[in-house]
């Protein structure tokens, strides 16, 4: 539709504002909140890429041998040392939580209030257990003498990369868990059916919000896939 000729274009700062505020839409068939979440996730992709590239640079440029992650992250079960056991469990938990999240989105669109709420709650609990295991892993490694500036296993850059990358990911998971609990409560209370306004934005929520939150949660899982491959398995 050619409707642009109806309104005269403004110049200067006024024009800048009216141009950016004009009613145009690039991402059709997508609620704006979801499109904005995608844009945020793209920028977050670049942040995590920078961390992983920094890790690559540190690892390739050091002249000291890199610690063997298979041994550093092993757990001893019944006297047998199993490599990367905790990391593997964490990976499976995060994938499982992604699965429950995907099903929560589906239940939400079907307006199955209780099912969607329960699945969101389950996702949050799984996320919480992931953060708990990460806290356990951190305290175990700190007790073994790994610090951001040195460690007993090899190249000293190992500690700083480990704490920075897994810490930043862990913060992402923690915030995801927080929003999962908030959204689960809202869904179970029926906010998206009654059009109850949110406590912070004062906007009426809709079941689409579960999909937007789901995108964030799957992204956290996605980042873990790359951290698992590059940091733990490489």
Partner 1 sequence: MAQEGQEHPISTYLWVWILLFVLSACSYAVDYVGFQGFTRWSLVILFMFLKAYFICAVFMHMVWERMALVLALFIPTFAIIVFVGIMGFESDYTQLGRKVFFDTGKPATVYAVPHSEVHKESHSEKGDH
The binder of partner 1 chosen from 14, 19, 47, 92 (CB under 8 A): 92
DSSP string, 172-224: HHHHHHHHHHHHHHHHHHTHHHHTPBPTTT-PBP-THHHHHHHHHHHHHHHHH
The binder of partner 1 chosen from 51, 91, 121, 124 (CB under 8 A): 91
Nearest Cα to Cα of residue 186 among 211, 206, 201, 216:
206
Structure tokens at 19: 């141009």
Query: With binding defined as CB under 8 A, does residue 150 bind partner 1?
Result: yes
- DSSP 8-state assignment for residue 18: H
User: Phi and psi (nearest 5°) for 214?
Assistant: -60, -40
- State whether the Cα torsion 118-190-107-29 is positive or negative: negative
Query: Which of these segments, 100-108, 131-139, 177-185, 195-203, binds partner 1 (CB under 8 A)?
Result: 100-108
Q: How far apart are CA 7 and CA 169, in angstroms?
A: 47
Q: Please identify, using beta-carbon distances, which residue of 182 and 215 lies nearer to partner 1.
A: 215
Query: With binding defined as CB under 8 A, does residue 81 bind partner 1?
Result: no
Query: With binding defined as CB under 8 A, does residue 133 bind partner 1?
Result: no
User: What is the closest distance, in whole angstroms, from the C-beta atom of residue 110 to partner 1 in the complex?
Assistant: 7
CA distances from 210 to 31, 121, 184 (A): 12, 12, 9
Query: Which of these segments, 16-24, 38-46, 162-170, 186-194, binds partner 1 (CB under 8 A)?
Result: 38-46
User: What is the closest distance, in whole angstroms, from the C-beta atom of residue 186 to partner 1 in the complex?
Assistant: 18
Query: With binding defined as CB under 8 A, does residue 98 bind partner 1?
Result: yes
Residues binding partner 1 (CB under 8 A): 26-31, 35, 38, 41-42, 45-46, 49-50, 53, 56-68, 70-71, 83-84, 88, 91-92, 95-96, 98-99, 101-103, 105-106, 109-110, 149-150, 152-154, 207-208, 211, 214-215, 218-219, 221-222, 225-226, 228-230, 232-234
């Amino acid at each position: 539709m050619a409707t642009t000729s109806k309104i005269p274009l403004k110049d200067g700062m006024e024009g800048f504002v009216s141009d950016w505020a004009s009613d145009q839409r690039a991402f059709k068939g997508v609620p704006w909140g979801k499109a904005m979440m995608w844009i945020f996730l793209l920028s977050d992709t670049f942040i995590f890429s920078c961390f992983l590239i920094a890790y690559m640079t540190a690892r390739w440029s050091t002249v000291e041998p890199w610690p063997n992650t298979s041994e550093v992250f092993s757990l001893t079960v019944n006297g047998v040392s199993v490599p990367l056991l905790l990391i593997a469990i964490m990976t499976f938990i995060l994938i499982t939580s992604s699965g429950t999240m995907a099903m929560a989105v589906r239940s939400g669109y079907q307006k199955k209030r209780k099912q969607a709420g329960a699945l969101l709650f389950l996702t949050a609990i799984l996320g919480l257990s992931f953060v708990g295991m990460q806290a356990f892993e951190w305290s175990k490694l700190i007790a073994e003498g790994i610090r951001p500036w040195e460690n007993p296993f090899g190249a000293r850059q190992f500690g700083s990369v480990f704490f920075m990358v897994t810490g930043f990911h862990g913060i992402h998971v923690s915030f995801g868990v927080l929003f999962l609990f908030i959204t689960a409560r809202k869904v179970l209370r029926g906010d998206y059916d009654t059009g109850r306004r949110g406590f912070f934005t004062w906007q009426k929520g809709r079941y689409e919000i579960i999909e937007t939150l789901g995108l964030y949660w799957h992204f956290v899982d996605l980042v873990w896939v790359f951290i698992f491959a590059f940091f733990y398995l490489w």
